[in-house]
Amino acid sequence: MKELTQENAPVLEALEKLKQMRIVPFDVPGHKRGRGNKILTDFLGEKCLSVDVNSMKPLDNLCHPVSVIRDAEDLAAKAFGAEHAFFMVGGTTSSVQAMILTVCKRGDKIILPRNVHRSVINAMILCGAVPVYINPQMDKMLGISLGMGIADVKKAILENPDAKAVFVNNPTYYGICSNLKEIIKTAHAGNMFVLADEAHGTHFYFSDKLPTAAMRAGADMAAVSLHKSGGSLTQSSMLFINDKISEGYVRQIINLTQTTSGSYLLMASLDISRRNLALSGRKVIDSVIDLVEYARGEINNIGDYYAYSREKINGDSIYDFDITKLSVYTRSIGLAGIEVYDLLRDEYDIQTEFGDLANLLAYVSIGDRPRDMERLVSALSEIRRIYKKDSSGMLEAEYISPKVVLPPQDAFYTDREEAVLLDESVGRICTEFVMCYPPGIPILAPGELVTAQVLEYIHYAMEKGCQMTGPEDMKLKHLNVMAEK
């Protein structure tokens, strides 16, 4: 048998062979290669439906891979500089949760920034881990959370020597990176694992012009969203580990929650995207960098907008910056980022990634074209000309330090819960999530105290058009809190 190289795509190759075998399907899925659902086949295409198949011997099994999936994962591990890779079909949410469930059990502490994705806190609800939050520093003007300062990480480790792990965003949604190598060195000196959420960092592995990638820096585990900047299908992700983590145990953890009916469409997309990145990623990522740098300059020349970049680096809480991130400060034109986001979509047919109370993020990756960037720049210029207004009176964004009263699991599963009017929840302990999505970073999480400042932020965000997700009452007129004794 010939040795596999990065030019191979084992899952793709196995599916191509399957198509040539003309097998009669007496297994699931029930659409039987699309014949049983004509409308779906017409919409997605026969090529797609013909490979929407179930696990079988020639195609291996995601829960216990021993052949083509195993080969594809091995190639991915080599491409990303890891000891082992796992194909994940539940999004990077499932990858993040697998990391935390691997290293933490009930009562175990984990050190992490508060501006984590909801999947992190969900994992703590599932396993009973206790968060030790490092409050990220704040850029007062931009109104965004930054990375973790080294002094703050060292202090948390010193005060919590029994913590099992340190969790790092690499990068944040806005492109900000902490001093990853120093955090890893410090955590390992304290016998703690380092887990990296690289949902937005796939491209770091294929360019020397970007911040350090977690596995190359020595992290123990990293969750990577290939579907975000790597070109694979939505919901496909990879989890990477180093040689200090048991591959077999991680597989057991993954199989606690991941489907036994892994989608071959998702797995094939991971396999193909890994091959594309391994063979031509550096060239493609260079073109993305050039495209964003051009757009950043053009946007800054419009006036009032501020598309920020490496000039924000301060050597600590902003140790590095992902220059592929087109993050734009909008408050100077008197509009919240979410308002510019809505105008771009509703008036100019441009869908950006998200807007918050002061910023807009246009996500640029391997599929973008120069003419699309020109259209975005032109639309932003026109929005400034038509909609600019006085920015006084806008809420000053600032980091709201959470007051954690209970571990997330204890609050979420409490049998002492009641729903109260949102405006009457101040001083109560929240038992559910409230967040703007995207990016899905909780404003309130289970176990945290509701304060007047938090309530003001929620009302202002709703008024500006942010979509609030998480609570049981989807209109957020009521909030679930701990019942008073």
pLDDT tens per residue across span 337-355: 999 999 999 999 999 999 9
The neighbouring-strand residues paired with 166 are 111, 194
Query: Which strand (E) or helix (H) includes residue 68?
Result: helix 68-80
Largest CA distance in the chain: 70
Burial of 26: CB neighbours in 10 Å, binned 0-12, 13-18, 19+: exposed
Helices (H), 2-67: 10-21, 38-44, 46-50
Strands 193-198 and 237-241 come out as unpaired
Which superfamily does 408-482 belong to?
Answer: Orn/Lys/Arg decarboxylase, C-terminal domain (3.90.100.10)
pLDDT of residue 181: 98
Query: How many CB atoms are closer than 10 A to CB 155?
Result: 12
Name residue, tokens 């052949």.
67
Residue-level pLDDT at 175: 96
Sequence ranges of the domains in the chain: 282-387, 408-482
Q: Token digits for 129?
A: 């881990």
Provide CB contacts within 8 A for 207, sequence distance 6+. Answer: 281, 282, 285, 286, 289
DSSP letter string, 419-485 = EEEGGG-TTSBB-S-EEETTTTEEEE-TTBBP-HHHHHHHHHHHHHTPPEESSSSTT-SEEEEEPP-
Can you say whether the dihedral through the CA atoms of 448, 451, 456, 457 is positive or negative? negative
Whose CA is closest to 442, among 174, 171, 134, 114?
114
| The residue to which tokens 């409490």 are assigned | 414
3-state secondary structure of 405: coil
Sign of CA dihedral 4, 7, 11, 17: negative
Instruction: Find, among 185, 216, 283, the residue nearest to 80 by Cα.
Output: 216
Q: For residues 13 and 479, what is the distance between their CA atoms, to the nearest angstrom?
A: 51
Q: Percent helix, strand and coil across the chain, each rounded to 5?
A: 40, 15, 40
Report the predicted TM-score, pTM, of the whole model to 2 decimal places. Answer: 0.94
Q: What is the pLDDT of residue 461?
A: 84
For residue 267, the one-letter residue type is: M
- Residues 224/144/400/196 CA torsion (nearest 10 deg): 20
Q: Which fold has domain 282-387?
A: Aspartate Aminotransferase, domain 1 (3.90.1150)
Give the pairing type, strands 325-329 and 306-307: antiparallel
Q: What residue spans of 303-395 are helical by DSSP H?
A: 337-348, 370-387
CA distance 470 to 466: 13
Place of tokens 């720049």: 377
Contact (CB, 8 A) for 202 and 281: no
Residue ranges in the chain modelled with pLDDT below 70: 1, 395-399, 438
State the CB neighbour count (10 A cutoff) for residue 312: 17
Within its chain, how far is the Cα of 339 from the centroid?
Answer: 23
The half-sphere exposure of 280 on its side-chain side, counting CA atoms within 13 A, is: 8
Angle, CA 265 vertex, CA 262 and CA 271 arms, to 5°:
95
CA dist list (Å): 417 to 252, 405, 407, 480, 483: 33, 15, 15, 7, 5
